[in-house]
């Protein structure tokens, strides 16, 4: 009886050792892609908001697609600058979703170049508790709404 108890205890102990929770690790994040931005204006012709759709490749996502919503605010001190904020969702090749807030985005309408930050705020499956950020640069064709995007940062999941 004692050997049976020792054997069962040993098996339970070994199984418990192997059941430690996954530890989140901060990793580099790199993204490239292309997309379109459909913008909406108010009655005065001022940009108010936009819907973006994009695709590309990124570390930890593989081939990805993206949808998002932006809110535009004119810069009161410079009429050539538009400030943007919003939310977006990246869907990876395997269906995992990575949620992000778009922060501190500034678009220079004279160059079509925007900069800002993706702030990672969770997602689904392996990205459920994701956090981190990536600084992005967007080069936009203002007449057509098409753009190229690159981003680099860190992600922890």
The count of other CB atoms within 10 Å of the CB of residue 73 is: 13
Q: Where would I find the H helices in 18-157?
A: none
**How confident is the model at residue 22, as a pLDDT?**
55
pTM to 2 decimal places: 0.83
Q: Distance (Å, rounded) from C-alpha 30 to C-alpha 106?
A: 20
The count of other CB atoms within 10 Å of the CB of residue 55 is: 13
Give average pLDDT by consecutive 10-residue segment, the chain, 157 residues: 50 48 80 97 93 98 98 96 98 98 96 98 97 98 95 97
């Amino acid at each position: 009886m004692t050997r049976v108890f020792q054997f069962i205890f040993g098996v339970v102990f070994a199984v418990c050792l192997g059941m430690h929770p996954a530890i989140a690790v901060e990793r580099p994040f790199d993204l490239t892609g292309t997309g379109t931005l459909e913008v909406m204006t108010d009655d005065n012709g001022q940009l108010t908001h936009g819907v973006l759709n994009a695709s590309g490749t990124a570390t930890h996502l593989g081939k990805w697609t993206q949808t998002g919503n932006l809110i535009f605010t004119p810069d009161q001190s410079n009429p050539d600058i538009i400030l943007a904020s919003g939310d977006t969702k990246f869907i990876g090749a395997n269906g995992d979703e990575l949620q992000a807030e778009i922060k501190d985005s500034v678009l220079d309408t004279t160059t079509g170049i925007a900069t800002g930050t993706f702030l990672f705020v969770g997602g689904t499956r392996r990205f459920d508790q994701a956090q981190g950020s990536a600084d992005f640069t967007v080069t936009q064709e203002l007449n057509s709404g098409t753009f190229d995007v690159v981003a680099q940062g860190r992600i922890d999941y």
